[in-house]
Amino acid sequence: MTVEALPSPVRTGFPADFVWGAATAAYQIEGAAALDGRTPSIWDTFSHTPGKVRNGDTGDIAADHYHRYREDIALMSELGLGAYRFSLSWPRVRPGGQGPANRAGLDFYDRLVDELLANGVTPVATLYHWDLPQELEDEGGWTDRDTAYRFAEYAAIAAEALGDRVPTWTTLNEPWCSAFLGYGNGVHAPGRTDPVAALTAHHHLLLAHGLGTAALRSALPAGAQVSLTLNLAAVRPLSTDPGDLDAARRIDGLANRIFLDPVFHGRYPADVLADTAQLTDWAFVRDGDLAEISRPIDSLGINYYTPTVVAADDPAAPAPRQDGHAGELSPWPADRGVRFLPAEGSRTAMGWPVDADGLYELLTRLRDDLPGLPLLVTENGAAYEDYTDPSGAVHDPERVAYLHGHLSAVRRAMADGAPVRGYFLWSLLDNFEWAYGYSKRFGIVHVDFASQRRTPKDSARWYARVIRTGDLPQ
Ligand code: FCB
């Protein structure tokens, strides 16, 4: 065999320009809930409502990042992070959701962005990670079309203030959760439980994305990147039986195509409209909305944790809640006839099965469905029962294994042609995990919430090494 005939070596490393990041969200880490003019968001109201969040936890103080951002950025710099995905708090930037911008609130993000840049970390800003100003909810929240227009105004304010230094913007984080957990089964703020409200909110969130994209484009310098982050589901039918395949089609419609079709093709999927026809005629979609929603964007963010396995069920039976989301009610409108099953594999502290193939499946599907569109993994990570041992260390081998498996899946998808440009680990810090409060730890940096002491876990050191070498340890 000549040398030329040898197969080229399998590349395990990531490209030199691959973006290595970590992610957080404002309400989950900032604290300072009533400081410098910030007004309550729906998550302040929800977390202060007895029974909504485990242990009565709130984001009042959280990881106190508002005061400790310098220390946190020093940690990012030690890790060698190339980029940091954070969100802006809408009621900090524009208290009450309308009216003038709040200079003191914007000043915090000015300081944050300047400190990131001084440490060589690229800021990636998300405008909406679920903290709707309470006053807007009082007027209907995402079921009210006007909320989308208020969002676009807020997007313009943020872009004018920070657009000279923030190169990448994301309109919404996981609108599925905002609509279906917030208005469908009520486990997230504002805690409404009405499937029609969920579908209405869904459409207005997408309208906000479209109007927000336009507002960002006109305020940002040329070359700025605009994106959207979705928690698309890696949906698998239990078998190839027609009933199971149809269950997978329905959930693929309500989890994936209900976003991808309007955003990238300017239409809602006909089968989703048919599946939900008994609930609503979708009259909340007005002429011109889909053109607005399908404005071109520069990349798509994917958040992935675990796959979704479905099977056919007796349509008369109430669907058992095995879809990984807490709560008694289904978040899925029109999911009668669908049964959710856990995937195989070990579970994280959230009870979510560990299955990296789901991430590969999603990324290669998007390679095929949206050819050429750059992809970013904007969240991926795991909660485990971490604790500091007597020597002060936090050993989290399960998280290292989780990250290793999922980064291998990303690399494999890239080798198979998926245009993945970066990976943002969820999360930099332990934080307020929504309805689970502080009971679930997703950070690669441990936070002792009593003292606010930060301790990098073993996974942080492991990730730093991956970033440094651009490769996964064998
Ligand atoms: C995602 C959220 C993020 C975090 C992770 C675990 O759905 O975007 O804020 O809670 O789940």
Q: Is 306 in the pocket of ligand 1 (CB under 6 A)?
A: no
* Residue 301 alpha carbon to ligand 1 centre in Å: 13
Burial of 18 (0-12, 13-18, 19+ CB in 10 A): middle
| 261 ligand 1 Cβ < 6 A | no
pLDDT for 366:
98
Does 424 contact ligand 1 (Cβ within 6 A)?
A: no
Residue ranges of the alpha helices (H) in 258-348?
258-265, 270-275, 289-293
Residue 237: which H helix or E strand, with range?
A: strand 235-237
Cα of 24 from ligand 1 centre, angstroms: 9
Reduced to 3 states (helix: H, G, I; strand: E, B; else coil), residue 421 is strand
Catalytic residue among 30, 135, 137, 174: 174
**Residue 349 C-alpha to ligand 1 middle, in angstroms?**
14
Give the residue, by CA position, lying nearest to ligand 1 atom 4.
Answer: 433
Nearest of 19, 116, 102 to residue 65 by alpha carbon:
116
Q: Which atom of ligand 1 is nearest to the CA of 434?
A: 10
Which atom of ligand 1 is least distant from the CA of 442? 6
The preferred substitution site among 171, 431, 433, 440 for testing ligand 1, maximizing ligand atoms within 8 Å of CB, is 433
* Structural domains of the chain sorted by starting position, each given as residue range(s) with its CATH number in brackets: 15-237+254-309+343-469 (3.20.20.80)
Pairwise CA distance, residues 215 & 227, whole Å? 13
pLDDT at 337: 87
CA distances from 368 to 53, 302, 435 (A): 40, 15, 35
Per-residue model confidence (pLDDT) at position 326: 54
- Amino acid 334: pLDDT: 84
pLDDT in tens, 17-27: 999 999 999 99
Q: What pLDDT sits at residue 325?
A: 55
Q: How far is the CA of 469 from the centre of ligand 1 (A)?
A: 28
Task: Give the model's pLDDT for residue 474.
Answer: 84
Is the distance from the beta carbon of residue 180 to the nearest atom of ligand 1 less than 6 Å? no
**344 a catalytic residue:** no
Q: What is the pLDDT of residue 6?
A: 52
Q: List, for the chain, all residue ranges whose pLDDT scores fall below the cut of 50.
A: 1-3, 5, 8-10, 321-322
56 Rama sector, left if φ>0, alpha if ψ -120 to 50, beta otherwise: left
Looking at residue 322, what is its pLDDT?
46
The DSSP secondary structure of 16-52, one letter per residue, reads: TTPEEEEE--HHHH---TTSTT---BHHHHHHTSTTS
Which residues contact residue 81 at a Cβ distance below 8 angstroms, ignoring those fewer than 6 apart? 20, 21, 22, 121, 467
**Structure confidence by residue, pLDDT tens digits, 385-417:** 999 999 999 999 999 999 999 999 999 999 999
Any ligand 1 atom below 6 A from CB of 173: yes
Q: How far is the CA of 23 from the centre of ligand 1 (A)?
A: 10
Asked if 174 is an active-site residue, the reply is yes
From 29, 303, 376, the mutation candidate for ligand 1 (largest count of ligand atoms within 8 A of CB) is 303
The model carries a pTM of 0.96
